[in-house]
Amino acid sequence: MLHRLAPLAALCLATSLLIGTPSARAETPDPKDWPAVLEAARGQTVYFHAWGGEPRINAYIDWAGAEVKTRYGVTLRHVKVDDAATVVGRIVAEKAAGQDSGGAVDLVWINGENFAALKKAGLLMSPGWAQDLPNWPLVDTVANPAVLTDFTEPTDGLESPWGLAKLVFMHDSAHVPSPPRSLEALADYAARNPGRFTYPQPPNFHGSTFLKQVLAQTIADPEKLSHPVDPASFDADIAPMLAYLDALHPHLWRQGRAFPQNVAALRQLLDDGEIDIAFSFNPSDASAAIAAGELPDTVRSFVLDGGTIGNAHFVAIPYNASAKAGALVVANFLLEPEAQARKQDPAIWGDPTVLALGALPAADKARFAALDLGIATLPPEDLGPVIDEPHASWMVRLEEVWSQRYGTR
């Protein structure tokens, strides 16, 4: 969620220099011995590198920090970042400098190609730790298999799921009572209502997700998306997507010559009445924004026929983290039913839980049952099918193509 990779060539060069290089890893605590982890964690400071662009999420992390301090004696410092690729670059640089312990990053909010890059380079804490956390048995791996793979890459217990995401569109029902529910209908709506739709500029994560949505619904063979890009067929594979965008762009906000920089800016355009349709990667985002006074209470959510892109997002621990025990404690706390229920509350954040609610004790089930998901949140049965994330290599190539074709206009 909200993370992308640095320019591929630079990162591949850095990781190629690192793969296979032996190193003395900092001592790794064993989550199977949880009392020892708790003892080692007390007094540690965990530097949590996470996106800092959403005040509601920042406030939630502040709350989590206060809780782990009170309960476990762990200090959580939120290092706000704009792009997880910068965190990847820092870990790569520390490895290149031989800093195999005492790293600056203890915990990182991550997914997608950033995870794939760190895994490939061997820059994450030893496999299996996530599935040894005390709260792991509460995770719903049956209904949400995305918690076991990250953009088709097996997680191998190298990262712990934190929340779920699904692309959901939103419209102001006072002005658009019947929104377009397919890509074809969206293009037709844009043509009939010039300037009333747009999307964030890739490589912003939400903008790139829109590209993947279009690709998934236009590519001749969707099965190809579960595999790395085939250079021999790539141009033909994306040709229908580009044809769709070529037809759509002249009718976008500002004629497709400028784009909002992020999803917050997109939401602001909807609130200001400049556009009619926006989207988010959080099914409760519209309700959360209404509760925060950021959108009118006539905004409602909808999805496209045939499904929308969905995934899980995770926290990971670098191989050279300074406070590994503390990071384990924080990762486990983020899976506590209390923490997950608070996170799912649209008045707090609205991020869907990764837990199997049916497996929870009665008191914890009651926490979730008591949640008011908000007037603009679709019930789970109306969210439609999930379209799996393409292999991470597709996102990198799509961003490159988009920049070359549309980014300089």
Across the range 40-60, mean pLDDT stands at 95
Task: Provide the 3-class DSSP secondary structure of residue 246.
Answer: helix
Across the range 345-363, mean pLDDT stands at 91
Across the range 55-62, mean pLDDT stands at 95
Across the range 396-406, mean pLDDT stands at 95
Which of the four pLDDT bands, split at 50, 70 and 90, describes residue 409?
Answer: low
**Which of these, 318, 317, 312, 321, lies nearest to 340 by C-alpha position?**
312
Amino acid 392: pLDDT: 86
The string of pLDDT tens digits covering residues 243-279 is 999 999 999 999 999 999 999 999 999 999 999 999 9
The string of pLDDT tens digits covering residues 6-33 is 434 344 444 444 444 433 344 789 999 9
Amino acid 54: pLDDT: 85
User: Which overall architecture, per CATH, does domain 8-164+311-373 show?
Assistant: 3-Layer(aba) Sandwich (3.40)
Asked if pLDDT for residue 332 goes beyond 90, the answer is: yes
According to CATH, the topology of domain 168-310+387-406 is D-Maltodextrin-Binding Protein; domain 2 (3.40.190)
Q: Whole-prediction pTM value?
A: 0.80
> Considering only 78-87, 274-283, 319-328, which range has the smallest mean pLDDT?
78-87
Pairing of strands 308-316, 107-110: antiparallel
Topology alike, domains 8-164+311-373 and 168-310+387-406 = yes
How many CA atoms within 13 Å lie on the side-chain side of 56?
23
Domain boundaries, the chain: 8-164+311-373, 168-310+387-406
Q: pLDDT exceeding 90 applies to what percent of the chain?
A: 77
Amino acid 408: pLDDT: 57
Report residue 334 as tokens: 């983020």
Which of the four pLDDT bands, split at 50, 70 and 90, describes residue 3?
Answer: very low
Q: Which residue has the higher pLDDT, 306 or 105?
A: 105
> Considering only 6-20, 52-66, 195-209, 215-229, which range has the smallest mean pLDDT?
6-20
How many CA atoms within 13 Å lie on the side-chain side of 27?
4
φ/ψ of 299, rounded to 5, equals -75, 140
